[in-house]
Amino acid sequence: MNHYGFLSSTDSTLSLHRPVDQQWRLRGNRSIQGLQDICARFPSELHDYIVDFLHNDRASLCACRLTCKLWTASSTYHLFHNAGTIHVGRNNFLQFCELFANHPLGACIGRLNLKSHLSGHFKGGTDETFQFNEHLSRFTSLPRLKYLRLYYHYDDLRPSFYSALAQNFSSVTDLELSYMYFASFADVLRACSALPLLRRLALINVLWRGPSTSDREMYPVFGELPVVDLVVDYCYVDDALFCQWLASQPSIRRLALGRESSAALSAAILIPLCRTSHLPPLFIRSNFLPVSDAVKLPVSLIPALLERLRSRVIQRIVIFAGLRNPVDLDRLDWQRIASLLAGLESLRRVEFYFSAHETWALAAIDEKLRPRAYALRVANLKGRHCYSLGRFDR
């Protein structure tokens, strides 16, 4: 292992870190030497077993793989592929490029999180920079990469960015764009179209400019993307343009929406979506309906959305709402909600997540929804309102 850094594991995430002190280095070297001796002592067929047995000492395992030539290709793949997400930011960008560029290990990376920062934008930073326009082209030799997250870039994206996406990340199927700025919605689609195998897309706080309200009749007609799963939690300029595109996408089968627009616009968009023939009702994992007040959705709209559900397969409905005190419960037409839920014969579970859960909420809602044939849960919204592609995998 060289002096630039090492790989370590925290939970299920692989990260590149800065060098450590000399005392740790001595202990780490002994551990590496011990693993090298093991590799030399046992036949190559046992390497996979050793990887599993020493799984918690992943830092030494990774260092051993980089220095020991006895590791088999299958053991390397077993150790690194989809073991976690490798994070690269401004502080370890150069180390990553030196460590993985044209190295066989790069062919085993399945998940990559790239965080761009402009130089000097945070306290304690170094002189290193990592910007997508200049440096995305350096990420080469990643043939098995499936998941890519691009995080934090509020500068104009240049043609070099789109070229690097097409040349270096053609194997990506899952793309998350977080806190990104685009000149137009067409540029967002341009980035997505650069990935021919893209099937899952997340747009989290993605900004773009668009035509004014008076120019909406001049909206262009955008092409289709083969995206099946779409997660959107955004704050941008022109959401009507986005909705026009969304309604025209026949491939989307699972959709999670977060909103930061006005309540009136949310109602105008969400209710027609529930009527769209090619798109099942807003759901996650086949039978899941998020209705989020965290997205400025008025709770009075919940019955209107439930009324649009005519599906005979929905088994689970989840409602996210703001609830601060018992008075907020009276804002909902519970008699109508209870009747609508009772009309869904396949329904097995209903969950309410509130931004400020109190013990009184469970008893109150339990009373308002009786009698019922489905299970009921009331819990805190904390940690459950974050939108990402991971929602579809839970």
Return the pLDDT at 177: 92
Long-range contacts of 156-163 (CB under 8 A, 24+ apart): 156/181, 156/183, 157/132, 157/133, 157/181, 157/182, 157/183, 157/187, 157/191, 158/133, 160/133, 160/134, 160/136, 161/132, 161/133, 161/136, 161/191, 162/190, 162/191, 162/194, 163/137
Examine the pLDDT at 305 and tell me if it is beyond 70: no
Query: How large is the average pLDDT for residues 284-307?
Result: 48
Radius of gyration of the chain from its Cα atoms, rounded to whole angstroms: 25
The pLDDT-based confidence of 162 (bands split at 50, 70, 90) is: very high
Q: Where are the alpha helices (DSSP H) in 42-92?
A: 47-53, 58-67, 73-80
Give per-residue pLDDT as tens, 263-291: 444 555 555 555 554 444 444 322 334 44
| CA geometry: angle 107, 110, 112, nearest 5 deg | 105
User: In this prediction, what percent of the chain has a pLDDT beyond 70?
Assistant: 47
Highest mean pLDDT among 47-56, 143-152, 243-252: 143-152
SS3 179: strand
Q: Furthest-apart CA pair in the chain: how many Å?
A: 75
Give the mean pLDDT of the chain.
67
Taking each helix axis from N to C end, the angle separating 58-67 and 73-80, rounded to the nearest 10 degrees, works out to 150
Give per-residue pLDDT as tens, 31-44: 445 545 544 555 55
Examine the pLDDT at 308 and tell me if it is beyond 70: no
Give per-residue pLDDT as tens, 192-220: 999 999 999 988 888 876 654 445 454 56
Q: Which residues contact 150 (CB under 8 A, 6 or more apart)?
A: 114, 116, 132, 175, 176, 177, 178, 180
Examine the pLDDT at 83 and tell me if it is beyond 60: no
User: In this prediction, what percent of the chain has a pLDDT beyond 90?
Assistant: 10
Environment class of 330 (CB within 10 Å of its CB; exposed 0-12, middle 13-18, buried 19+)? exposed
Q: Report yes or no: 138 and 101 within 8 Å, Cβ to Cβ.
A: yes
Distance CA 39, CA 174 (A): 35
Helix H, strand E, coil C: the string for 91-135 is: CCHHHHHHHHCCCHHHHHCCEEEEECECCCCCCCCCCCCECHHHH
Higher pLDDT, 64 or 361: 361
Distance CA 85, CA 208 (A): 28
Dihedral sign, CA of 302, 307, 308, 309? positive
Nearest to 392 by CA among 301, 288, 313: 288
Least confident stretch, 80-84, 131-135, 332-336: 80-84
The pTM for the full model equals 0.61
Structure tokens at 2: 């060289």
Per-domain boundaries in the chain:
6-285, 286-394
Q: Report yes or no: 317 and 293 within 8 Å, Cβ to Cβ.
A: no
Return the pLDDT at 196: 94
Beta strands in 252-362 (DSSP E): 254-258, 290-292, 316-321, 349-354
Q: Which CATH class is domain 286-394?
A: alpha beta
Higher pLDDT, 254 or 183: 183
The pLDDT-based confidence of 90 (bands split at 50, 70, 90) is: confident
Query: How large is the average pLDDT for residues 283-303?
Result: 44
The pLDDT-based confidence of 312 (bands split at 50, 70, 90) is: low
Taking each helix axis from N to C end, the angle separating 239-247 and 185-193, rounded to the nearest 10 degrees, works out to 40
Return the pLDDT at 62: 61
The pLDDT-based confidence of 191 (bands split at 50, 70, 90) is: very high
Higher pLDDT, 295 or 147: 147
Return the pLDDT at 287: 31
Environment class of 53 (CB within 10 Å of its CB; exposed 0-12, middle 13-18, buried 19+)? exposed
Return the pLDDT at 6: 33
Dump the DSSP string for 198-240: --EEEEES-EE----GGGGGG---------SEEEEE---S-HH
